[in-house]
Amino acid sequence: MDGSIFIPLRLSLQVALAATVLVVLIGTLMSFILARKTFRGKELLDILLTLPLVLPPTVVGYYLILFMGRNGLLGKYLFHWTGWSIMFTWYAAVLASFIVALPLMIKTTRAAFESVDQNLIKVSYTLGRGELKTFFKVILPLSKKGMIAGAVLSFARAMGEFGATLMVAGNIPGKTATMPIAIYTSASSGDWAKANGMVLFFTLVSAAFLYIANRLSKRGAW
Amino acid sequence: MTKCLRVLMVGLCFSVLFLAAEGRAQSSSAHEITVSAAISLKDAFEEIGKLFMRAHPETRVVFNFAGSGDLARQIEAGAPVDVFASAAQKDMDDLDRQGLIAKNARKNFAKNSVVLVKPVASTIPIQSLKDLQRGDVKKVVIGNPRTVPAGRYAEEALRHLNLWDTIKDRVIFAEHVRQALDYVARNEVDAGLVYSTDAMARSKDVKVVARLPEGSYQPVVYPIGVIKGIRAEALSRAFTDFVLSAEGQRVLTKYGFIAGGPSM
């Protein structure tokens, strides 16, 4: 087995972990807002946040280029002020993975928040705890299983991201060629031996993560 | 659902099925061919296809454009392709070696050259290949050498000119040469190596800086071949003959290719 299959694997893990951290943080915040607050445009926000789940990854990639490309709606200001563009960097891969995985986290976490017994929350308020404290001490602990499931799904989705990633991060071996992309290149160039090695490894690593996640969500701890 | 709506839905389903069946019947006939061609041939071949269909009524030419490497893999995997035109001898050789090309049905039909281009919108003064080493040239795109002929030529030339080692960390790979061209046209990169014909196709957004010196890369000679054992062999041979004919060669030179027909 060629030692260099570890480079795409390392990149995939790096990108997926970074994306999952962002997904958990922002996903939890968004889920809280959607579960506990009402405001005008809430439906629209919900749809916008869910869209990447149903849109093909190439459409997501397209929008990312539209916004974040060097000539993009936002990207051009970023380039103008800093001389830096996110395109063709591993940050772009993180961004792509983040966007496609976020809906998964929000769906599961929001459901978990909404299923917390309202009475418990009310009791917390009557006992003098504010909204934020209640969130951290009552809602969050009771939603742990749903949140872990969301995080695992997000991580898996981030590891497997290909279409949007290829469009914004490109195929740069060692820098942005994550494992799905490296497998694609190996298969495209007829290097089946290398592709086989990577596919096997990827499958085993993903299965291992799923196993760990299942154990975690079953009892909340090892 | 109201009765009217239900009837409409059923009618729609049947129409879709009918159209699908119609389409399938056509593609297995001897009057339609699928041509897999290197994406740099897109504009020229689309025009050649139209002329061919006009000259041969009742026939249909369907094109499949992508990087030559991807196309060769598809044919190896049994894709229903009748004619293959690649941007390098290597991809055709790969198929030939596996006995996939029909006898006496492989010919060279065009030549091309590789140029250094930069975005029209770019402010970086790149005036020669040596300028690729400048500190402000952060990203240079070429086709992926593992699958794209244009990428292989580019890497070969950059190595030959002793530039590869200094700039290889700035090199971005595109999945085919038109994607490389697009990156340059959109100013996502600072420079790129593409075919002169591609630069011509997007001359508004892309500026040719220099031609790669002759001898720094192997000559770009496009072969076209008929796949062995296909149903529409006669029509496929007629198509390759058309590409090699005066009319076909005229279209190719119109798009910037150098005629590479039998008189080569």
**Residue A68 is which amino acid?**
M
According to the model, what pLDDT value does residue A222 have? 40
Kindly list the domain boundaries of chain A, sorted by start residue.
Answer: 9-169
Residues B73, A188: C-beta atoms closer than 8 Å? yes
To the nearest 5 percent, what fractions of chain B are helix, strand and coil? Answer: 45, 25, 30
Domain A9-169 maps to which CATH number in 1.10.10.10, 3.20.20.70, 2.102.10.10, 1.10.3720.10?
1.10.3720.10
Residues B121, A71: C-beta atoms closer than 8 Å? yes
> Is residue B125 assigned to a domain?
yes
What is the largest distance, in Å, between two alpha-carbon atoms of chain A? 67
Task: Name the residue with tokens 């994406």.
Answer: B39
According to the model, what pLDDT value does residue B174 have? 94
According to the model, what pLDDT value does residue B261 have? 67
- Give yes or no: residues B85 and B97 share one domain: yes
According to the model, what pLDDT value does residue A32 have? 93
Question: Does B200 have pLDDT greater than 50?
Answer: yes
Q: Which residues of A touch B171 (CB under 8 A)?
A: 172
The domain total for chain B is 2
- Give yes or no: residues B240 and B186 share one domain: no
Distance CA B164, CA B139 (A): 13
Question: Does B36 have pLDDT greater than 70?
Answer: yes
Distance CA B108, CA B219 (A): 12
- Give yes or no: residues B122 and B198 share one domain: yes
Q: What is the block-wise mean pLDDT of chain A (222 residues), using blocks of 10 residues?
A: 73 96 96 92 93 94 93 92 92 96 95 92 90 89 90 91 93 90 88 90 85 70 44
Assess contact for B203 and B4: CB atoms under 8 A.
Answer: no
For residue B248, give the nearest of B47, B6, B99 by alpha carbon: B47
According to the model, what pLDDT value does residue B160 have? 96
Residues A170, B173: C-beta atoms closer than 8 Å? yes
Q: Residue A15, SS3?
A: helix
Strand partners, B220: B112
> Is residue B9 assigned to a domain?
no
Q: Which domain holds residue B66?
A: 30-111+220-259
pTM of the model: 0.81
**Which pLDDT band holds residue B16 (cuts at 50, 70, 90)?**
confident
Tokens describing residue B257: 């290719």
- Give yes or no: residues B43 and B96 share one domain: yes
- ipTM, two decimals, is 0.73
- Give yes or no: residues B201 and B133 share one domain: yes
According to the model, what pLDDT value does residue B22 have? 56
Residues B70, A71: C-beta atoms closer than 8 Å? no
**Which pLDDT band holds residue B21 (cuts at 50, 70, 90)?**
low
d(CA B44, nearest CA chain A) in Å: 25
Residue of higher predicted confidence among A5 and B219: B219
Which among A65, A66, A67, A70 is the top mutation candidate for probing chain B, defined by the most B β-carbons within 10 Å of its own β-carbon? A70
According to the model, what pLDDT value does residue A172 have? 87
Q: Kindly report which listed range (A203-207, B55-59, B97-101, B164-168) carries the lowest average pLDDT score.
A: A203-207
Size of interface A-B (CB pairs under 8 A): 46
- Give yes or no: residues B205 and B119 share one domain: yes
